[in-house]
Amino acid sequence: MRLLPYIFTLIAYGLLTQSALAQPDLDLVYHLKASVVKVHALTNNGGHGVGSGVVVDKDTVATNCHVVANSNGISISKFGDSMSPVEMIADWRHDICLLKFKYLELPAVKLASAASLHYGDEVFSIGFPGGPPKPQTIAGKVRALYPYDGSLIVRTDAAFIMGSSGSPTFNQAGELVSLSTFKSPGKQAYFYSVPVEWIQSLMQQPPATSTVPDATAFWDAPVEARPYWMQVVQPYQTGDWQALESIAHAWLRQEPQSAEANFYLGSALHGQGQAAPAQQAYERAVSLQPAHIDAWSGLAILAQQTQQPTLLSNAEQHLRQLDSQAWPEIQQRLSPQP
């Protein structure tokens, strides 16, 4: 099984399923860009931080709190104009801040919900990655959905960089589902966004009195205090199978019906050469989440390695249905490497 770390790396980074994405409707994007703003924050040492934001209600812009935390001044810019908020409503732990204005005169987007998303759904974000003068559009697919604090954290393969924090993520109908917020370390990162449900809940809260955080963002907590779906990333990508197995078991004790926990357990066992229990975990994952393309990919690899033609045929059929380009690329990647 010497190819396992290489193959799992490809699955982890999403390189096995990079089929062509349907680009969002250009007219729709044009209209949505009118609601996306660049957020500016003056830092305590005289620096200038930049993020993104989106109009979610009359005179109200949603962004990430870490964009404006500990700032001496906040403003937004749009169409060459600049405007400062009159107050802010903050949920520091969930990393969502609402900036309130007078006479903003920008249209609010329609709100959907993260709960309406499915694995494989095509989404797109609009923001200011790297701080360009005009907002940029990045398309991607939903890679995973993680239950957390009464809603769902959304992981997509729509990559973002500094300046994108607070970028709205839309479904194909142009409805807001989440805000691009944080990523895992390294060049081949996982990209996460926080749900619009948290924005809707925050709208009912009183204003903050300071830009100084009163809590640490959940994703910035010490590693051992982070959600299990964050803890698994590094050992999975580095092939530390024993550590991954330990985390996956702990995750399953907390969430026995988690398709993601079962997938990572299957990956850990597969990486350690335990084919039979790995297969059981993968199969449990796809029974809980039939569109889990990474689990089907793991099953396909395992079936080829253990010479199970029926399982291989079944996995291939599902991969073709979920992504017509996935299986041929897996076959190509399974070829011996020089």
Write down the domain spans for the chain.
4-19+223-333, 33-108+203-220, 110-196
The count of other CB atoms within 10 Å of the CB of residue 137 is 19
Query: Is the torsion defined by CA of 235, 241, 243, 247 positive or negative?
Result: positive
- Cα dihedral 276, 282, 285, 290 sign: negative
Mean pLDDT of 69-90: 93
- Which residue in 39, 26, 24 sits closest to 169, CA to CA? 24
The pLDDT score that the predictor gives to residue 302 is 95
| CATH superfamily ID and name for 110-196 | Trypsin-like serine proteases (2.40.10.10)
User: Of the ranges 105-109, 186-190, 248-252, which one carries the lowest mean pLDDT score?
Assistant: 186-190
Q: 164 with 114: CB under 8 angstroms? A: no
Measured CA to CA, the distance from residue 54 to residue 167 in angstroms comes to 7
Same fold, 33-108+203-220 and 110-196: yes
CATH T-level assignment (fold) for domain 33-108+203-220: Thrombin, subunit H (2.40.10)
Spelled out in words, what is the top-level CATH class assigned to the domain 4-19+223-333? mainly alpha
Give me the mean pLDDT over the 207-230 stretch: 94
Entry pTM? 0.90
pLDDT in the model for residue 333: 64
Angle between helix axes 259-271 and 293-305 (nearest 10 degrees) is 30
